Structure 1
Amino acid sequence: MALRSLRANLFRSALTLLGVIIGVAAVVTMLAIGDGSKREVMQRIESMGTNLLLIRPGRGMRGGDSGVNLTTEDAELIAELPNVTAVAPERGTSSTLRFGNSDHRAMIQGVWPGFMETRDWQLASGTFITEADLASFAPVIVLGQTVAENLFPNGEDPVGRYVLVRNVPFEVVGVLAEKGANAFGQDQDDVAVVPLSTGFVRLFGQQHLDSITVKVADAAAVHHTEATIQELLAGRHSEDAFRIRNTASILETAEAAHNTFTLLLGSVAAISLLVGGIGVMNIMLVNVTERTREIGVRMATGARAGSILLQFNTEALVVCGIGGLIGVGLGLGAAAALGLVGMPVLFSFWPPILAFSFAFATGLLFGYLPARKAAQLDPVVALASE
């Protein structure tokens, strides 16, 4: 009966379905985009490692006086602490690298051998900087993928070649594996690394560090290790001379922010579903008004009020159920299309189920009032209506 009623007014039924379809499709698509964005940011942050401590200069530590800056001595003392597996002090500068007729401007990082372990980075070819390179101030360099592709565009192997950095020849001993963009969208492969000691002497001109990255063995004890490092550096510098960031706390903050963002997207989409529900109620009220005589005939021939209530509620549920199914399919299709053009999307089981359930609940809620009005009609008055 409900399907026959929908077929009797196809155009009106289509308009009613449209509101529910758009609402459900919007919920499914928005939540897929929100979850996809969250996953991408979480993966980028996790690629840094969740057991890292990032030490940066604080106020008063950007000057040239090494007495008020992070130093390699700080890094050496941190490396001796318990629960610390690797320490990577870094100093960087932007400079142009040249090979033959090709040149490329990139970030040059002076590092220790522990850089690979703290960054969880692999080599594509060659070797990395060694302790011997560090001790001998060796003019060796390891290129990131972006730098290698720009300096050697014909696909030749950079290992064993010499590149110029500020007119200083550096031997390429290795090429880093591709890393991609970081959580802030910066190309991590647009970098070249040299021994920190060599960088101090030949490139940087100053002996202080930009940062110290510390990798801990037991992530559960990372907060205790952070407090130990805090106490150590506070004894060597002033309290506000450095900042320590815990990547686990960064991950938690980012996850909370994206959960809020996803909830916001879902709430905005749910409003359109609510509007669709109001449309269902309006159409059902029109149906009740137009079919008053039919209701009177049914009640006069023995139909109870509960039967009339069930009939009109069922019609509303059928409309929202069909609209919900079409909306879920349309939403998944729209999200898949967005994924093909490069937008991060993530499909999961619950958003379509929740969206369809909400559509079904909308039909039950907004279909009840028109059905109740129909069930309470006086049969005599209903039969006398035109």
Structure 2
Amino acid sequence: MKHVELPSGSVATGEPLIELSGIVKTYGGEVPVEVLHGISLSIYPGEFVAIMGASGSGKSTLMNILGCLDKPTRGTYRFAGRDVSELGRDELARLRRDEFGFVFQSYNLIANATALENVEVPAIYAGLDLATRESRATHLLGALGLAARTGHRPSQLSGGQQQRVSIARALMNGGRIILADEPTGALDSKSGAEVMALLQSLAERGHTVILITHDREVAKHARRVIEIHDGNITSDTGPDLAAANAPVLPASEPGHSSLAADMAEAGKMAIRALRTNLFRTILTLLGIMIGVASVVAMLAVGQGAQREVLARIGSMGSNLLVVRPGAPNERVQAGSSVLTLIPEDGDAVAELPNVSAAVPERSGQVTLRIGNRDYQTQATATTVDMPETRNWPVERGVFFSRADQDGRATVAVIGQTAAKNLYGEADPVGSFLLINNVPFQIIGLMGPKGASQFGGDQDDVVFVPVTTGSMRLFGDPSVRSLTIAVTDTTRMDETQAAVTGVLKERHGKEDFQIRNMAALVETISSTQRTLSVLLASIAAISLLVGGIGIMNIMLMSVTERTREIGIRMATGAATRNILQQFMTEAVVVAAFGGTLGVVLGFASGAAIAMAGLPLQFTVLPVVVAFACAVMTGIVFGFMPALKAARLDPVTALASD
């Protein structure tokens, strides 16, 4: 048991709560300045100590070291027997949180928080749940005469009321040690007297109160007065015997908060902070909004274009092989006499495995006539398998039969565009017309097909049996294409090779070329995907700009709220708490901007769709765009948050 000789000759028993030995503090720079010169001091639990000195004497520096806000250059500081120099940054934060309560001359309240929220701050970092925090903070404010002011912000409180709020905050986690730095310096005499009465009351209840003051009248309220001058202790009335032997006030018991609770609190504080600078926050949101909206809309345009092209190709059938006359890499012009395919080639190919149908076709311009009305369109001579092969059903009437085909019947099935131009709204089925002066009966009306992938109108057509067309319309048995439907598309290449073999055997040479529609679909899909990536990359630049905006706003926020950061550190915020707070603010901005951006993207898409452009919204791009916005907040918010978390508490508190 350690014994301390008192000036009266009596002896105080018990271990000192705070013990300084040879404390030296030097501030660096071009010319280092030593502010404290070997301070040695012991303070016992329950003492009411006044450290008195003129401005520049080193008393505030000593208080910062006592409160673990600053570290000595040399010397030993033991708290409850433990060497404080062995504690890391977060362990010091826990010590401030659980043991110390600070009362500052300038109050150091968070400007955008209410009195109740200011008092709750230490308990948040102690892990107390919301109900317990609110109950304790309300009780403390009520005990200090501020029950009617719990919802007021600091700007709505008088100086004396603000100092009472800071005292309530100091007591929130128990405040075994109250460090009061010039607590009456900014108050009128009446408010100052009330604050001193509160501090005396706390000392009587067992709190260790350390008062920093330049005023001798204020110092007289303490039971022990230590005078400091030019960094040296010049006098000390000695430990208070009664306090040194009094029962020790127990340390506060920290709570245990969950990660979800921590995140919820960080989110709440983030929203409050962002609301304070609403206009600047909105400007930052615009960058993220435009970026996300651009990504959503651009990808929708890209996917819409891809769907449109694939739909047009799919209308022909993506399981098709199309054979055309002419050697590979040789283009056969319309009207060319190089026509090497005949209907019988289709019959031979139809016998191959994995081939469900082989449709020979020949097309050419014809004139349709009804009475004295003429109309130029395209006639296609084909087979009965065409509707199934090209996925093109008949809307009304029937398609010609195999008997029609074998008997060279003069029957026709007309497309929607040709029918509308000739018949208007009347039903063409059953009527007769002339095709190149050859009479035909219309037995069916094809369903609507739309434009082809090459831009033509597929509905501007009339279909006739291939045998009839060859003999009655074109006068030539050859065909211009052979469309082959494949059963199993996974064997397209194998089937294409078999078709090539059969036709080479029949023709004696390779005087044809085959187009694989599945390969064409894949090529176009790949091109469209590349285009979508390009569009998304261009849109992502907006997200980058938004990310830079987030970094700017967070850096400005850190600069403007440096004192607030110091306050939070003084009340127990660890590095992760500060990091989490500012990261949460960045993510909240990004997430809110991302949400608005998704809405704006859909609205932009609706406007684009009204302009007639193809559009397709899918879940994945929207989710990816939103996730990228949040990730942008994380990436660009990290450096400012890290800067805030690494601030020195003393430097932060001294910031204007």
- TM-score, normalized by the shorter chain, greater than 0.5: yes
- The CA deviation at 1:108 is 0.8
Match of 2:375 in 1: 104
Q: What is the SS of the residue equivalent to 1:244?
A: strand
C-alpha contact (below 8 Å) 1:102/1:150 kept by paired residues: no
Is it true that 1:123 corresponds to 2:394 in the alignment?
A: yes
Q: Which residue does 1:146 correspond to in 2?
A: 417
Equivalences for 1:69-108 in 2 at 5 Å? 69-108=340-379
Q: 1:322 to 1:204 in 2, by over 3 A?
A: same
2:61 alignment partner in structure 1 = none
Counterpart CA distance in 2 for 1:159 and 1:363 is 65
Within a 5 Å distance, the mapping from 1:1-386 to structure 2 comes to 1-59=269-327, 69-153=340-424, 155-237=425-507, 239-386=509-656
Secondary structure (helix, strand or coil) at the match of 1:113 reads: coil
Question: 2:402 and 2:575 mapped to 1: Cα distance?
Answer: 88
**Corresponding residue for residue 145 of structure 2:** none
1:46, distance to aligned residue in structure 2 (A): 2.4
Report the CA distance shift for 1:326/1:64 in structure 2 as closer, same or farther (over 3 A). closer
Alpha-carbon separation, structure 2, partners of 1:323 and 1:64 = 61
Say if 2:412 and 2:463, in contact at 8 Å, map to a contact too.
yes
> Secondary structure of the residue that 2:456 maps to in structure 1?
coil
2:399 counterpart letter in structure 1: F
User: Structure 2 length as normaliser, TM-score?
Assistant: 0.55
Larger Rg computed on CA atoms? 2
Asked if the contact 1:309–1:372 (Cα under 8 Å) also holds between the matched residues in 2, the reply is yes
Q: CA deviation at 1:15?
A: 0.5
Q: 2:364 & 2:608 partners in 1: Cα distance?
A: 38
Q: What is the deviation of 1:19?
A: 0.5
Distance 1:370 1:82, change over 3 A: closer
Return the offset for 1:198.
2.4
**Alpha-carbon distance in structure 1 between the residues aligned to 2:362 and 2:514:** 17
For CA contacts below 8 A with separation 6 or more, give which structure has more relative contact order. 1
Q: 1:159 to 1:352 in 2, by over 3 A?
A: closer
Deviates more, 1:186-195 or 1:340-349: 340-349
State the AA in 2 paired with 1:185. G
Counterpart amino acid of 2:272?
Answer: R
Question: Which amino acid in 2 is paired with 1:13?
Answer: T
Deviations along 1:142-198, whole A, 9 cap, x unmatched?
A: 111111111001x22212222222223222222112222233333211110122222
Q: Equivalents in 2 of 1:199, 1:29: separation in Å?
A: 48
Alignment length (residue pairs): 384
Distance 1:314 1:120 in 2: 55
Distance 1:82 1:381 in 2: 84
1:79-121 Cα distance to aligned partner (Å, 9 max, x none): 3334333221111111232223433221111112222222222
Alpha-carbon distance in 2 for matches of 1:180, 1:316: 49
Give the TM-score normalised by the residue count of structure 1.
Answer: 0.90
Deviations 1:22-45 (A, max 9, x none): 111112222222223323333332
Would the aligned equivalents of 1:103 and 1:150 in 2 still touch at CA under 8 Å?
no
Displacement of 1:363: 1.2
How far 1:356 moved relative to its partner?
1.7
For 1:267 and 1:297, locate their aligned partners in 2 and report how far apart those are by CA, in whole Å.
43
The structure whose residues are more often helix, as a share, is: 1
For 2:564 and 2:355, the matched residues in 1 are separated by 81
Identity of aligned residues (%): 51
Give the whole-Å Cα distance in 2 for the aligned partners of 1:222 and 1:166.
Answer: 39
Separation in 1, partners of 2:655, 2:354: 86
What amino acid does structure 1 have at the position aligned with 2:360?
P
- Give the distance between the partners of 1:357 and 1:150, measured in 2 at CA: 52
Cα distance in structure 1, aligned partners of 2:271 and 2:289? 18
Question: Residue 341 of structure 1: CA displacement?
Answer: 4.3
**What RMSD over aligned residues (CA atoms) do the two structures have, in Å?**
2.4
Contact 2:361 2:482 in 1 (8 A): yes
Distance 2:594 2:443 in 1: 60
The amino acid across from 2:622 in the alignment is: P
Provide the C-alpha distance between the structure 1 equivalents of 2:356 and 2:554, rounded to a whole number of angstroms.
69
- Structure 2 residues not aligned, in runs of 5+: 1-268
**1:56-77 deviation digits (Å, cap 9, x = unpaired):** 11237668667x6112232232
Take 1:325 and 1:361, find their aligned partners in 2: how far apart are those partners? 13
User: Secondary structure in 2 aligned to 1:20?
Assistant: helix
Q: Choose 214-223 or 327-336, whichever is displaced more.
A: 214-223
Letter in 1 for 2:523: T
Q: Give the distance between the partners of 2:560 and 2:387, measured in 1 at CA.
A: 75
* Alignment partners' CA distance in 1, 2:571 and 2:486: 81
- Residue type matched to 2:321 in 1? L
Q: 1:365: Cα distance to partner?
A: 1.3
**In 1, Cα distance between equivalents of 2:575 and 2:467:** 90
Unmatched 5+ residue regions in structure 1?
none
Report the 3-state secondary structure (helix = DSSP H, G, I; strand = E; otherwise coil) of the residue aligned with 2:484.
strand
**Preserved contact between residue 16 and residue 276 of structure 1 (Cα < 8 Å):** yes
